[in-house]
Each structure stands twice: as structure tokens, then as C-alpha cells.
Structure 1
Amino acid sequence: MAIGSTLSVGLIGLQAFIIQIQAFVSPGLPFFSIIGLPDASLTEARERVRSACTAAGFQWPQTRVTVNMSPASLPKRGSSHDLAIAASVLCAAHVIEPERVAHTIVIGELNLDGSVLPVSGILPILLHAHERGVTTAIVPRGNQEEAMLVGGIDLMFVSHVAELITLLGGNATLPDIPPATPSAPSSSIAAQHDLNADMAEVVDQTQAKWALQIAAAGGHHLLMVGPPGTGKTMLASRLPSIMCPLEESEQFEVASIRSIMGTLAAYGISDIPPFQAPHHTASVAAIVGGGSGIALPGAVTMAHRGVLFMDEGPEFAPRVLQTLREPLESGTVAVARAKGTMVFPARFQLVMAANPCPCGFGYGSAERCTCRERDRIRYFSRLSGPILDRIDIQVDVLPTGHIGAATRQTGPTSAQMREQVIAARHMARERLNDQGWTCNAQMSGAWLHEHTPADTIALVNKALDSHLMSLRGADRALRLAWTIADLEGVGAPRIEHMHQAIAMRTRTA
């Protein structure tokens, strides 16, 4: 009995798990089977592996070859296990040394000519392998740059099956084949923001900039309402430039998500929070995740630790908007499918922009507005009460200023605003460190009621008696007041901070 064994790593959503791959070459009629809940692309690996090994000069056994992938209870998907399957078969056929590969992670997709192609998800795969104590990995040469981001693990890079055989103590002739190159990253969901864009480029809009600074300092959600051309999109796209830099652990979280989605090559490891701006025609699956079989992450997960910008908010389908309620509260999104429920991280800041009416000019005296009253009501009512109640800041962005250098008021730069945001966030972290929270948006209602001054609480109760906000809205207003106090360097919110927070929630500022 000849059995060869090696290791691979499977991904279900963002959750990784070690797979032991064993190949058994036994007497019998020629047959090659793969068992252990493989999907269609993995079942097709039989032809890729057989052809690739033959291209490396290996004579495929004219007997029965069985490959088992354990644990058998978990579904396996994708072509990233091709190279590991080939290694286990070569090990069972005594072409390579068993001890060299038995405890090694092997990742890579095979072409029919034996070349090894890069795969998506190398970063989370190697991070999980390192956490599980695996010290050696063999990965495609096309993934070398991404794989080198993970420390503490010995890496070997191959571009052909013959190179794998010689690397592990066997004899093979390497054909003259061009080296594999990384495939072009997908950008169907990712929306890159201009890292050189500066908040000072936005003319006037002092109130909106202050609202964005509060949102960045406290991790609050934001709604901007105003006619077309007033700078709502410019302001939103510059929000990452004033946010706190991502910590190292957060950078790897974001990079792992991008690696799985195939967009890491376009971004790399960066401390700049991600920015996602899906179109208003996006489906539920595109926003929260989905797809057939095993669900894939959506825009809310791609915006994890960053900003999800929904321009023309009322134009999104009501069903899409309602799906945001869970991630806005919990910071995660659960997508159920027949093969299991995927839980994706989705701790993002929602920034939404909206026109006041369908034509966009229903503000002030509404002289230019051509909409009927019922159309105005129907348009903005697409943003339901529960969604609006979860948005901390609601601010009007109205036309201001004139063209010309003499009248331009640009205000502070992104770098200056970012310094203030970092200082405010540092103050909040010192205050909340014992609770395990990192920003004011995470504070619980019980903590707020206990630590907020009594006169400030009294003002909130007065607003509740006037039915200006719900109990949830009251807690969100208290969090806003704490953030405003942090930006001003005050230890606790005062009455004037609370007045400003209530006004920002009710769009009366």
C-alpha cells in the first residue's frame, strides 16, 4: 500500500481551515477519484493534475488512484488545491520524499502544461497556517510578493510541477515555459479613492467638513442631504484622508479580505481605511454578500474598517437598504446558503448622500423644484425610519460661495484635520480602554447613562419628551456629544455639545 500525504488550506468565506490531502495508489483498473466534498472545479482537478504531472515527465500510474481531502465534513472548493493533490500523488508514487511534504502547506493551481498559476487568498491562507504552527509552505511564484508579507514561515516558490519535484528530492526535467504572472486584479466591487485628494479642495462647506471630522473621530455614520453639485461626493471621498491610520492587525484584516477578492495587488498593505462606493443599482448580493453555493463577501465586507459610501441613497432598492440594519448594529453580516451560513466582518462607517427630492432642488424656498409634493415624500421616505435612526449625523449640504480666488474658503487640510481626529480618538481610547472599546460609536447605553453629566442627560430627556428622537437615537446623540467634547479636548460633554449633537441628528443645524 502506497499513501502520500500533504497539507493545504481551505477557505469558507473568510474562515480558513487546514486540509490533509492523502493519495492512495492501489491495484485495480485505471481510475482517478477525489473524495471529501469537492466542488465542481475541484473535481475537474483530476484532469489538470494528471496532465500537469505527465508534462513534468512523470508516468501516471495505470492503477487506481484515490485522493481524500479531510476533514470530509467540510466542503472544499476552488483550484488552489491542485498542486497539493499533485504532490500527494507524486509522494505516493515515490517520486518525491514523503517527509519533505507531509507537514508542508502546498498551494497552487495547475495548468495542463504543468505550470503553476497564482491563486487568490494567499495572505489569509498563510496567516492561518502560521497560527496553526505550520512552518513551511510551497506557493506559486506569481504569489511571491503577497506571500512575503507573512513572517514566521519558510516559503518556497514554484512555477512548474517539475520544479516542485526537484525541490522535494525528485528528478524531473523543467520545460522551457514562461514564468507564471499574477492575474489582473478584479475591480468590479472595489472603488479606489484618490489618495492625493485633500479636504482643502472642497470650497466652503464648513459645517459639512466639521460633521465629517466628528464622524471620523467617533466612528459615526453620516447622511448628507443637498442639491446636485454642492460637493457631497467630494466630501465623502475625502473622509478616509482624515480618518485614523489602521493598526497593524486591522491592516491584515483588510488585506485578507482584498486577497480573497483578488484586489490586493491594486492596494497592497496600507494603513489608509478602505473606501467602497457601490452603484445604486447594486443587488443585495453585491452589497452584503452572496452567490450560489458558498457565499462571497459583498461591499459591506470590502468596506470593513473603512467607509461605505452610498451616493444617491434613496435610489437604492428598499430591500438593499434594509439589509444594512444588521451590519450597522453588530459589525458583522450573516449570509445563509444551502451549504452553510457565512459570517463576514462588516464594521464600516456608512456615509450616505441624497438629494432633497427627485429633481434635486427641493431645498430652501424650492423655487426651482419641479416635483409634486407626493413625489418628494415618496422619494425621501425610501430611507426608512429604522435606517435613519441608525445614522448618527444628518447634515444639509447647501450651495455656498462663488467662483474666484478672492472668495474661496478652503479651510483646514486633510492632514490638519487628521491630527485633530487622531488626538480625539486617543482621548477616547484612554477613557474606554478598560471596556475594550476603541471609539465612541461602540459605547454602550449603560456606560453613557452612568458617565454623562446629569445636566446633559436632562437635555436628552427633554428631547425624548418632545419626541424628537427615539431611545436608540438618544444614545447615539450622547455618543456624538462625547466625540465633540473629545475634539475640543474636554473631559466630558457639556450642554452646548449636547445641543449640537441633537441638532446634527435632526438636521436642524
Structure 2
Amino acid sequence: MRIGSGMSVGLVGLKAFLIQAQAFISPGLPYFSIIGLPDTSLTESRERVKSACSATGFKWPETRVTVNLSPASMPKHGSTHDLAIAVAVLDAAGAIPQQSFEHTLTLGELNLDGTVLPVNGLLPILLHARGQGIRRAYVPFGNLEEAQIVPGIEVVGIRHLGELVEQVGGKARYKLSDSQSFTELNLAPDSSEAAHKQIDMAQVVGQEQTKWALTVAAAGGHHMLMTGPPGTGKTMLASRLPSIMPPLMEKEQLEVASIRSLCGNLQQHGVSDIPPFESPHHTASTAALVGGGSGVALPGAITRAHCGVLFMDEAPEFSPRAMQTLREPLETGQVLLSRSKGTTSYPARFQLVMSANPCPCGYGFGTGERCTCSPRERSRYWSRLSGPILDRIDIQVSVLPVSNITSSHTQPRQTSAQIRSQVTQARATARARFADHGWVCNAQASGEWLRTATSAKAIELVNQALESKRLSLRGADRAMRLAWTLADLDGRTAPSAEDVNTGIMMRTRLQ
């Protein structure tokens, strides 16, 4: 009895686990079965594998073929394991030398003619494999450049199953059609990345107060709400926040790239140090926002915004249920999605920026003479942003109309590069201060640390705001975090009472 084997990696969210595919050819009526909790797409791989193996000149056994995917207790899904299943069957039939793929990953989807197609999620798979001591992997040629991102593991690009057989000394007969294209994944920044680099904060006319608030938000990782009438530049300002944020560190780049790989859009964005920017439409469902799908849930917008910005334009127009789902991720930095086949955890440490009109018609500012909304309509409009959500917003700023564009053009404006330099310096100060705690910005500092490190005079102002009900206890901590960010931007080692007072005002401007 000869048992063939192949190795693959499964994903539950971004958490990976090794899969051992074992094939056994036994006497009996012709039948091909895959066991070990496969889903529908994986069960269908029986026909793909059988046809692909035949396309290499291999004579499929006219007996019973059983493939087990272990560990059997973990659900397996997707077509990533086609190549490992084919390798196990070929090994069991003696078509390739025994144990040719021991301690070697084989990843890829098979076409009926034996060609190997690219798969999603290859980057987190290889990062996990490297941590498990795997040093060699056969991957689809279309994923080769993505696979080469991971150092310390040898990757070989495969176009056809026959190539894989020949790599280990087996014999195969196959022919690649001229119409088949095998274009490598291009991870260089595309036109969207180039367009992103062209946007600059200097392009925004006026709104110096809001630009300063965005600078504070970027320096400390604070959440922000902008309120103002239509046409004042709220969306334009929010879209330029990533341009003033510090470049992503190498670990963060890999985290963002892994999420994009799982979502299948790594080719569109490439591996970049620019923080991601997600802007879901206000009609987006809860599943689109936090993630969803049958079986194992897929990432939503808040996960795609990990290490970057989640911008919710016209925030009161989002459904209350969708808004409430943000509460836990804003506190924990991750989202847990429970489905029938298990619970999936995705990272969701994003910076939330919301914009809103002052009322449903948008003109309830100043004297309000153009406003057509009743008090009840205004109350209903703002009630969609619940108290718990607003309490998690660090900065609330009013964006008023610009009254003179001529004078704005004559005044020098700071570029994104100039602002980013200030922000990066402030972030470096905070990172050095929190080196022993593992925090990277002031928004992550614990309340206990803040109450210990902030001066008694500054804390007295916070106590007064608590007594007057201007702040909740959560809001008090967030006001102190703002104060530390203001001190970092000014180059001071600790916040003053004035910084704390400014932090309180920035939090409670709309309350």
C-alpha cells in the first residue's frame, strides 16, 4: 500500500494552518472522494484534478481514489488546494518519485487542461508557511511576484501541472496553447497609486482650521467628524488625510498587502507604504462594512481600511445598524465575525473620519435662513449618530464655507509633504515614549497611563469637565490623548493645562 502526500495551507480569515493531503488508491468500483470537511468549491476539485492529471498523460486509476485533508476538524474551502490534491494522487499512483514534495508547499487552482491558475490569499499563506519552517513552495506563475515578496522561502512559478511533474523527475506529455496567457502579477503602483500621490493638501482652498485638525488627527491616530454645508470641501479634505500620515512600516505594509491578497485586489494596489483609504457608500450594508458571506466570512471595508482611513461620507445617512457595528472595532482594533462554520477574526485598526451636513437639507448653519428643515427633522437626522458612536470620536470640527478664494490663492499653503514631516516627527516622539508598552500613537495609550503621566493641574480641568457632564470617562481619556498629541506637535515633553483645555474643546464642539 502506497499513500501519496501533498502539502497546502488553509485560511480562516487571515489565520493560516498547514493542510496535509493524503491520497490512497484502493480496489473497488471507480470513485474519487475528498474527505476532511471540504466545501462545495473544494468538492468540485475532483473533476478539475482528474481532468488536469489526464492532460499530463497520466492514466487515471480505474479504482477507488480517496483523498483526506487533515486536520479533518478544520473546514477547508476554495480552489487553492487543487495542486496539492493532484500531487498526492500522482504520488500514490507512482507517477512521481515518492516523497518528492515532502516539506514543500504546492498551491494553485487547476484548469481542466492542466494549467495552473492564480489564487487569492497567497501572501498570508506563505508568511505562515515560513514561520512553520517551510522553505520551498510551488505557486501559480501568475502569483510569482506576489510570492517573491516573502523572504526566506524559495518559490517556483508553475504554468502547468506537467511542469510540476517534470520538476521532480517524472514524465509528462502536455502542450500549452498559444492563446493561454501567463502574465505575472504586477505589484508596481498603478495609475490609481500615481493619482493618489498627485493629491495634495495644498490644493485645498482655505479651511486652515480643518487642516490643522486633520494634522492633529494624523499625528495621534485620532478619529474625526467634520460637519458643514455642501461644497465646503469635507470630502476633499478627508481624501487627503493619507497623504499627511506617516508611511507604513514594513510590518504594516505586509498586513495591508495580506488583506488585499485575500480580497483579490493586490494587483490593483501593489505593496505600498501609503495608508489605505476606504470610502463605502452610505447605502452599504452591514456585511459590506464589517465583512460577511456564507461559510467563512470575507473582509469588509473596515478591514480593508486597516492601518489607514475609513471615510464615511454623509455619515447620518448610513443605517443605524451599520453604524453600531463600528463600536467594537473602534475599541479593540479587530472585528469578530461568527458564522455557521466558525468565528473569523480580522484586523481593523483604522482611523475613522466622518462627514455630515448640519441638517438634512444641508443649509442649517449661520443664520439658517436657507434651511427648510423642521426641528424634528434635524433631531431625527442627528439621532442616527448615537451617543456611543460620537463618544468615540476624538475631534469634532465645523467646516464653514470659504468666503474669498482670491485671498486664499495669494497666501502660501502647506503641502502634504510639509505637514507629513511634522506628523512623522510627532509620531516618532510618541513611539519612543511608548516603546515599553507597544503602542505606536497617542490614540492607543491606556487611560491608566494617561492619568499617571498627565500633570495634576491638567487633570483638574478634565475633572471639571466630568463634573459638568461635558465629558464621559471615555471622553476624558480621549481628551488627554489629544492633549499629548498637541504637545508632541509643539515639541514639548508633556501637555500643559492649555493643551488639555484645547483637547476638551475639540471633542465637545458639537455637543
TM bin, normalised by shorter chain, reads: over 0.9
Displacement of 1:156:
1.3
Q: Is contact 2:278–2:301 with CA below 8 Å preserved after alignment?
A: yes
- Matched length: 505
Displacement of 1:408:
5.0
Q: Deviations over 1:95-131 (max 9, x none)?
A: 1112221221000101111111000111111111111
Change (3 A) 1:207 1:194: same
- Return the letter of the residue paired with 1:127: L
Residues 1:121 and 2:118 aligned together:
no
Q: 1:99 is paired with a residue of what secondary structure?
A: coil
Displacement of 1:389:
0.2
Displacement of 1:406:
6.6
Change (3 A) 1:374 1:192: farther
Greater mean deviation of Cα atoms: 480-489 or 465-474: 465-474
CA distance in 1, matches of 2:154, 2:193: 34
Residues 1:209 and 2:211 aligned together:
yes
Q: Is contact 1:203–1:409 with CA below 8 Å preserved after alignment?
A: no
Q: Deviations over 1:369-419 (max 9, x none)?
A: 111111011101110000000000000000024233775546211000000
CA distance in 2, matches of 1:288, 1:92: 43
Residues 1:98 and 2:108 aligned together:
no
Q: TM-score, normalised by structure 2?
A: 0.96
Q: 2:238 is paired with a residue of what secondary structure?
A: helix
CA distance in 1, matches of 2:465, 2:408: 42
Change (3 A) 1:334 1:217: same
Once the two structures are superposed, the pairs formed by residues 211-360 of structure 1 within 5 Å of their partners are: 211-360=213-362
Greater mean deviation of Cα atoms: 405-414 or 205-214: 405-414
Q: Is contact 1:255–1:269 with CA below 8 Å preserved after alignment?
A: yes
CA distance in 2, matches of 1:14, 1:223: 31
Q: Deviations over 1:455-478 (max 9, x none)?
A: 111111111121111111011001
CA distance in 2, matches of 1:195, 1:25: 57
| Correspondence for 1:433 among 432, 435, 446 | 435
Q: Which residue in 2 is equivalent to 1:75?
A: 75
Q: Is contact 2:145–2:184 with CA below 8 Å preserved after alignment?
A: no
Q: Which residue in 2 is equivalent to 1:23?
A: 23
Change (3 A) 1:410 1:231: farther
Q: 2:363 is paired with a residue of what secondary structure?
A: coil
CA distance in 1, matches of 2:72, 2:98: 22
Displacement of 1:182:
6.4
Q: Which 4+ runs in 1 deviate beyond 3 A?
A: 179-185, 190-193, 403-410
What are the ranges of 5 or more consecutive residues in structure 1 without an aligned counterpart? none
Provide the aligned C-alpha RMSD in A: 1.7
Q: 1:139 is paired with a residue of what secondary structure?
A: strand
Residues 1:158 and 2:185 aligned together:
no
Residues 1:62 and 2:65 aligned together:
no
Change (3 A) 1:172 1:142: same
Q: Is contact 1:8–1:20 with CA below 8 Å preserved after alignment?
A: yes
Q: Which residue in 2 is equivalent to 1:472?
A: 474
CA distance in 2, matches of 1:404, 1:257: 44
Q: TM-score, normalised by structure 1?
A: 0.97
Q: Which residue in 1 is equivalent to 2:4?
A: 4
- Return the letter of the residue paired with 2:262: I
Q: 2:29 is paired with a residue of what secondary structure?
A: coil
Displacement of 1:28:
1.3
Q: Which residue in 2 is equivalent to 1:135?
A: 135
Displacement of 1:2:
1.9
Change (3 A) 1:15 1:406: closer
Q: Which residue in 2 is equivalent to 1:488?
A: 490
Residues 1:49 and 2:49 aligned together:
yes
Q: Is contact 1:162–1:174 with CA below 8 Å preserved after alignment?
A: yes
Q: Which residue in 2 is equivalent to 1:390?
A: 392
Q: Is contact 1:401–1:408 with CA below 8 Å preserved after alignment?
A: no
Q: 1:164 is paired with a residue of what secondary structure?
A: helix
CA distance in 2, matches of 1:72, 1:194: 45
Q: Which residue in 2 is equivalent to 1:459?
A: 461
Q: Is contact 2:25–2:92 with CA below 8 Å preserved after alignment?
A: yes
Q: 1:485 is paired with a residue of what secondary structure?
A: helix
Displacement of 1:161:
1.1
Q: Deviations over 1:11-36 (max 9, x none)?
A: 11111100000010111111100000
Q: Is contact 1:402–1:408 with CA below 8 Å preserved after alignment?
A: no
